[in-house]
Amino acid sequence: MNSLILLLILVFGGALFSYLLNKFLPILRDGFVVLLMLLVNYVFFTMDSSTQIDFEMGGIHLQWAFTSAAFLFGIIVSILGLLSIIYSTAYMKGKDRLGYFYMNFLFSIGSMLGILMSRDLISLFFFWEIMTWSSYFIVIYSGKDVDKRGLKYIVFSAIGAYSMLMAIVIIYGFTGSFLLTDIFDSIFAIKASYQLAIAILLMIGFGVKSALMPLHVWAPGAYSGSPMSFTALFSGALSKMGVFGFALVLFNLVSNQNWLVNEVIAWLAAITAVLATFYAVIQSDAKKLLAYSSIAQLGYIVIGLASGTYLGVMAGLFLAVLHAVFKGTLFMAVGAVERQAGTTDMTKVSGLIRKMPWTFTASLISIIALAGIPPLGGFVGKWMLYEALITSDHYYLVIMVFLSSTAAFLYSYRILFGLFLGQEEPEFAHVKEAPLPMLIPMLLLSGISVLSGTFPGFILEPIQDAMVVFGFDSRIPNIEWWQLTVLFNSWGDKVVLQNVMIAIMGVFLIALAFITIKGYRKQRYVTTKDISSSGEIIQPEDNMTFQIDFYKPFERAIWPLLKRRIDDYYTDLGNGLEALFDLVRRIYNGNGQFYAIYVMAFLALLLIAGTKYFGF
């Protein structure tokens, strides 16, 4: 059997079987979904890269195949899908409707793989809709404000879907084909204005899934309200389908005459990165904070792609992979805190570092990677992005990225301090470390964050292969599997990033060893409560560390920029449309006498206009 067909049968067939298994033999459900995803990964990574399927349906030629770019994103989907499923077996334990949950979870994974293998617009749109609806059913699975966040998600998804459908119809009208290869060959024969219209419609569709402002309003509620095991995949992989679509549009459907499209997209992404970062800083709930942070990080990725340079696109793809890694880890870590402590409100929970040391370690590594601090992978991606923007004279974009990256330090520290550091509260004395099925995925992803900083080449290798699909040269000479040359010193000697990272890692390990050895010296530890205040012993209920209004001065400074939320503009638009439709309803009220008056008035206007302008 063709491996592409086998892959889809495994995922979609397994999804339906998991639903039935949950009804009749629920004890086998968790083991089945884990084994299924292991088998899916085996088929995916062992398939022949040249595998292709061509078939016709209703006279329409359809084609499925994995390009090198699609394979890169498929790696994200398959690996993160497996780890998220393993995590779910512990995180979702004891929850209701698990057959429903796993079925839609697997449908989401299968539809993403289907999108990536689609080499025609019909298949792409079909799998896109499966992805939307399966993820929607998980968004409304449980939690507060289910109807509100579900409505936002499905409305914006519908807007994106209709935009994509309109673009597909226009493309077919000009090219007479749904095959991407035919479209890419003939698209530049179309007038630039029509190319621009097609690009805008497609980018609305892909921009919704990428949570690009102003199409992002569904994301905070959907990311924070969904089960964290799915949110890790939602933010880490499903959002990348929008990034994949952006890459197809920017490098295959937009000619050089429409360079303005790249500029507009880059600036929208930069604004998204800055504003979403500011919103993240002022959040008090860790899930909401990570939701806005994820939107901001997606902005960096799109900036890299929209730059249009080799290094910029490579930086965008590198950050896309790293975003899946560290964001998957962080959502899993916050999910572990939620499951063990019962809340992710940073004004209530604190001091969990002693109770959940492994979860803290995974969170710390991922936060360092997210903030772009050496020697982890986030630094490599940010370095390449800065260098790409500077060498292409996008200095204002550099300022925007730097502003967002600097502010990211604030919320990075806030989530660490709010959940893990500070004074341990008595009500959380019972908290224990997360179960092993939750820890293993977090620690494996954290290991990738560490290795990607010191040895970035193992990620850059498949990225270089993917660059061919976007019209760039297949390789550049200064990348090997284990190192990356990023700059030259004043003598013209190469500076290898891998050597820099090893040096930084060495300093870090020496400092860690010094602190550890010093900590083993015999000494008396004094806790925060082992002190006196004005002759009185501090009571357990007296909190000596505070994280409420942690960044209040910063919030006051940026509040004029944030107080008018984009949601408010959509609300005003909705109210205006409601008033307009109400007026139309009053005009067309079904009364024949009123319709006769309208006809007479219209004829009178025609008579007056004809007499005045045409003389009769």
Rounded CA-CA distance 105/227 in Å is: 11
Model confidence band, residue 489 (pLDDT cutoffs 50, 70, 90): very low
CB 236 within 8 A of CB 272: no
Last residue of a domain, one of 501, 525, 547: 501
pLDDT for 318-345, tens place per residue? 999 999 999 999 999 999 999 988 888 8
Average pLDDT over residues 444-454: 87
- Structure tokens, 167: 């673009």
pLDDT at 520 over 50: no
Kindly list the distances between the CA atom of residue 564 and the CA atoms of 195, 275, 570, 571, in Å, as whole numbers in the listed order.
Answer: 34, 12, 11, 12
- 225 in the same domain as 333: yes
Tokens of 319: 């950050």
Residues 450 and 574 in one domain: no
Say whether both 493 and 362 belong to one domain.
Answer: yes
Q: In whole angstroms, how far apart are CA 538 and each of 287, 349, 352, 535, 546?
A: 32, 20, 21, 9, 15
Helical residues (DSSP H) of 47-120, grouped into ranges: 68-91, 98-117
With 60 as the cut, is the pLDDT of residue 436 above it? yes
* Model confidence band, residue 526 (pLDDT cutoffs 50, 70, 90): low
**Residues 440-468: what's their mean pLDDT?**
86
The pTM (predicted TM-score) of the whole model is: 0.84
Report pLDDT for 480: 47
Tokens representing 234 are 């939602």
Q: Which residues, in sequence order, are bridge partners of residue 536?
A: 533
- Judgement on whether residues 401 and 298 belong to the same structural domain of the protein: yes
Give domain status of residue 409, yes or no: yes
- 91-126 pLDDT, tens digit per residue, is 998 888 898 999 999 999 999 999 999 999 999 999
Can you give the pLDDT at residue 483?
46
Judge whether 526 lies within some domain: no
What confidence score (pLDDT) does residue 125 get? 92
Do 373 and 475 fall into the same domain?
Answer: yes
In this predicted structure, the answer to whether residue 143 has a pLDDT above a threshold of 60 is yes
Most confident of 167-181, 341-355, 407-421, 435-449: 435-449
**Backbone φ, ψ for residue 57 (5° rounding):** -140, 110
Please give the full DSSP string across 395-462, using - where no structure is assigned: HHHHHHHHHHHHHHHHHHHHHHHHHTSSPPPGGGTT--PPPHHHHHHHHHHHHHHHHHHH-THHHHHH
- In this prediction, residue 551 has a pLDDT band, given cuts at 50, 70 and 90, of low
Are 570 and 497 within one domain? no
Q: What confidence score (pLDDT) does residue 491 get? A: 42
464 and 571 both lie in a single domain: no
574 within some domain = yes
Instruction: Name the domain count of the chain.
Output: 2
Helix/strand number for the chain, H first, E second: 24, 6
User: Within 13 Å and on the Cβ side, how many CA atoms surround 570?
Assistant: 12
Positive/negative CA dihedral, 437, 443, 446, 447: negative
Lowest mean pLDDT among 429-433, 449-453, 586-590: 586-590
CA 220 to chain centre: 11
Structural domain ending residue among the three candidates 451, 484, 501:
501
| Cα angle, residue 534 at apex, residues 528 and 538 outer, rounded to 5° | 30
The DSSP call for residue 252 is: I
In a domain, residue 39? The reply is yes
Instruction: Kindly tell me if the per-residue pLDDT of 354 is higher than 60.
Output: yes
Q: CA quadruple 118, 124, 126, 129: dihedral positive or negative?
A: positive
Residue 124's pLDDT is 92
Residue 522: inside a domain, yes or no?
Answer: no
Please give the residue that has the higher pLDDT: either 392 or 521: 392
Residue 196 carries which side chain, given as an amino acid letter?
L
pLDDT at residue 13, as a whole number: 93
pLDDT at 475: 60
**Lowest pLDDT segment from 63-67, 202-206, 348-352, 471-475:** 471-475
Please give the residue that has the higher pLDDT: either 599 or 164: 164
| Full domain range(s) for residue 262 | 3-501
Same domain, yes or no: 582 and 490:
no
Q: Say whether pLDDT at 270 is over 60.
A: yes
Would you state the pLDDT for residue 490? Answer: 42
Of 480, 287, 291, 319, the closest CA to residue 388 belongs to 319
Are the CB atoms for 160 and 215 separated by under 8 Å? yes
Decide which of 547 and 149 is more confident.
Answer: 149
Same-domain pairing of 484 and 595: no
Q: Lowest mean pLDDT of 184-188, 362-366, 589-593, name the range.
A: 589-593
Question: Would 169 be classed as within a structural domain?
Answer: yes
Residues 467 and 592 occupy one common structural domain: no
Q: How far apart are CA 567 and CA 149, in angstroms?
A: 12
Question: Among 37-51, 155-169, 220-234, 472-486, which stretch is predicted with the lowest mean pLDDT?
Answer: 472-486
Instruction: Say if residue 69 is in the same domain as residue 185.
Output: yes
Domain annotation covers residue 515: no
One domain for residues 170 and 281: yes
Bridging pattern class, strands 52-57 and 532-533: unpaired
- Of 501, 531, 548, the domain-final residue: 501
For residue 7, the Cα-to-chain-centroid distance in whole angstroms is 24
Residue 469 has pLDDT above 50, yes or no: yes
Q: What is the pLDDT of residues 361-404, one digit of tens each?
A: 899 888 888 888 877 888 888 888 888 888 888 888 889 988 88
